[in-house]
Structure 1
Amino acid sequence: MKQIIIVAGGTGNLGKRIVRALLAKDTEVRVLARLSTDSEKLRKLESSGAKIFKVDMSHPEEIAKACKGASCVVSALAGLRDVVIDAQKVLLEGAVAAGVPRFIPSDYSLDFTQLDPGNNRNLDLRREFHQILDKAPIAATSIFNGPFTELLTNEMPMILPKFRSVLFWGDADQKMDFTTMDDVAAFTAKVALDYSTPRYLWIAGDQISAREIRDIQSALSKEKFRLIRAGGIGLLNTFITIGRTLSPAEKDLYPAWQGMQYMRDMAEGKAKVSLYDNDRYGERKWTKVKNVLEQKKAQKH
């Protein structure tokens, strides 16, 4: 008998990948969608084999009906308090009401349990939701994967091709975890089908430093890239404080100062762990930073 897995946020960049990975495992996938969700996105998911349940995400009883018989609820919801706390809380209530035994929250990030509270707004919201989740009568598993590797090719201002430079803060040899969205999705699908998962799991497609990224970029471009140290962690903290004071943008998901908070947390190395669960489901060929940068270069030609 097929396991039934619920996915909330299935039309998002990560969510649709999780849906695809689950469908590849001969699983019944039910995607919870807001009433206002774009119909074309839902049509594509439905044509791939997913079952679509359009629900009022503010009503746990509607969610509970869609969750009937499910073995796990996977959240891939992305946003600020109204989503990470409020919407996930309703999703959790619906899962509990339906008797779903397991819940995967929308973490997919640095291991914020190792970080100081109050220093990263987006991660603090996830930490706050954990306080709610851990009191609920349901087994939960969080997946920590570091930042998505794809960020290196666009949103993360680290590789600067125009200036043939790699920007870093702190120590150029500090290792950082990166994992592609496809790898995170594939691992999440296996976790969703695994009844024996612990509270936390850690994965990293690659563990790499700014210096190593510089070397890879130099080899790929056949041009010498240099390292630029923007400053120490203390200076970065000062920029974060100034940026948040002058341009709060509290309603934006990723204002500039929020990106700086992520950079600081990576550069400090506090979220780095010593033991990873990459081989929990057997050996897998994880996508490296070099692979992603090679693909980006190929797309330009």
Structure 2
Amino acid sequence: MASPFVAVAGASGGLGQLITMDLLKRGVAVKALVRPDTDPSRTEKLHNAGAAITPVDLSDVPALTRELNGAICVVSSLQGLKDVMHTAQGNLLEASVAAKVPKFIPSDFALDFTKIKPGSNRNLDLRREFHTQLRKSGITWTSILNGPFMDLMAGDSPMINHKSRKVPYIGQMTQQLDFTTMEDTAAYTAAVAVDPNPTPNFLRIAGDTVTVQDIADAQTKVEGVQYTPSWIGPVWFMEFVIRVLRLFGGQNETLPIWQGLQYMTNMHSGAGKLEALDNDRYPELSWTKVEEFLRQQKNKQSKK
């Protein structure tokens, strides 16, 4: 690939595919980095859209370096535990530095872990710890923090109980919660990747900021039946429950029950709240609100 391009690691995943497609829509050449054993069906759409599907071993830094030569930005959408977020992503970072890539976007895409107490969220700790490698690397990097994905509200979601028509929460019902769809996050990431201007180390975005009452009201409008908030306890009690659940294992799972509860606690305590949003940095982008998203999901279900 002789012309300048953006490399997307983890391009076969949900977010990685969306980022790749948004870059292609912008007319940018994309090298989609995937594991050698990736099923071709997972990259067929990207291939047909014009991405260069590139199987590469993430443990082979020299091979990664060769693939990254000429890249204007490397976007990581890798997801996993320490072996992925530190080791594999660390190799990707090392290769990016060796290939003299101008910009690196790590796979953060989360709550504001810069404000969250270490030890309160295992998966966010992994992201925070990786930033030690980022700072030492000398590469220019930008981390995108978007809060929880709004997509978590779709289908049989733990955030909305459709059988009881309840929206469960802990702490205060008035707590503001940030949500951004994967599609909007991907579009913003693509814009950052090709931005010719310097970008800060952290960019914070939220498609919508709502309370649990707002979520219940939006679902009520969409479904035409009443949904209500449902308090399940104070934040401190959930923290106690998490400590107990961790005694029963799950350390080697990406999302055990207690990990999901850690996210819930960080959200509803306000610890991971995004402040000073950078939504307006790219005026051409639009943002999906909660009610609009829920209506889209209902329309999808009705077409099945």
> TM-score with structure 1 length normalisation?
0.96
Residue in 2 that maps onto 1:263 = 264
Residue in 2 that maps onto 1:7 = 8
> Could you tell me which of 231, 235, 238 is aligned with 1:236?
238
Residue in 2 that maps onto 1:295 = 296
Q: Deviations over 1:196-253 (max 9, x none)?
A: 101000000000010111111122222222221000001110111111112x111111
Residue in 2 that maps onto 1:39 = 40
**Amino acid of the residue matched to residue 206 of structure 1?**
D
Q: Distance in 2 between matches of 1:268 and 1:189?
A: 31
Cα pair 1:8 1:31 within 8 Å, conserved: yes
Q: Distance in 1 between matches of 2:187 and 2:137?
A: 26
Q: Distance in 1 between matches of 2:156 and 2:32?
A: 28
Cα pair 2:15 2:186 within 8 Å, conserved: yes
Q: Distance in 2 between matches of 1:221 and 1:254?
A: 30
Shift in CA distance, 151/160, structure 1 to aligned 2, threshold 3 Å? same
Find the residue that maps to 1:162 and give its secondary structure.
coil
Q: Distance in 2 between matches of 1:274 and 1:53?
A: 37
Displacement of 1:285 in angstroms is: 2.3
Q: Distance in 1 between matches of 2:190 and 2:199?
A: 12
Residue in 1 that maps onto 2:202 = 200
Superposed, 1:157-172 pairs within 5 Å as 157-172=158-173
Find the residue that maps to 1:198 and give its secondary structure.
coil
Residue in 1 that maps onto 2:220 = 218
Find the residue that maps to 1:134 and give its secondary structure.
helix
Is 1:277 equivalent to 2:273 in the alignment? no
Displacement of 1:284 in angstroms is: 3.0
Superposed, 1:124-139 pairs within 5 Å as 124-139=125-140
Moved over 6 A (4+): none
Alpha carbon RMSD of aligned pairs, Å? 1.4
Q: Distance in 2 between matches of 1:155 and 1:137?
A: 43
Cα pair 2:188 2:285 within 8 Å, conserved: no
Q: Distance in 2 between matches of 1:219 and 1:44?
A: 35
Displacement of 1:65 in angstroms is: 0.6
Residue in 2 that maps onto 1:149 = 150
Displacement of 1:152 in angstroms is: 1.2
Find the residue that maps to 1:159 and give its secondary structure.
coil
Residue in 2 that maps onto 1:111 = 112
Q: Distance in 2 between matches of 1:277 and 1:44?
A: 31
**Amino acid of the residue matched to residue 101 of structure 1?**
P
Find the residue that maps to 2:163 and give its secondary structure.
helix
Q: Distance in 1 between matches of 2:159 and 2:98?
A: 45
Is 1:173 equivalent to 2:174 in the alignment? yes
Residue in 2 that maps onto 1:69 = 70
Shift in CA distance, 3/51, structure 1 to aligned 2, threshold 3 Å? same
User: Aligned pairs, how many?
Assistant: 300
Residue in 2 that maps onto 1:78 = 79
Q: Distance in 2 between matches of 1:158 and 1:266?
A: 12
Displacement of 1:273 in angstroms is: 3.0
Displacement of 1:275 in angstroms is: 0.9
Displacement of 1:291 in angstroms is: 1.1
**Amino acid of the residue matched to residue 211 of structure 1?**
Q
Displacement of 1:274 in angstroms is: 2.8
Q: Distance in 2 between matches of 1:176 and 1:147?
A: 9
Q: Give aligned-pair identity as a percent.
A: 44
Q: Distance in 2 between matches of 1:33 and 1:63?
A: 11
Moved more, 215-224 or 196-205: 215-224
Displacement of 1:158 in angstroms is: 2.0
Gaps spanning 5+ residues in structure 1: where? none
Displacement of 1:295 in angstroms is: 1.5
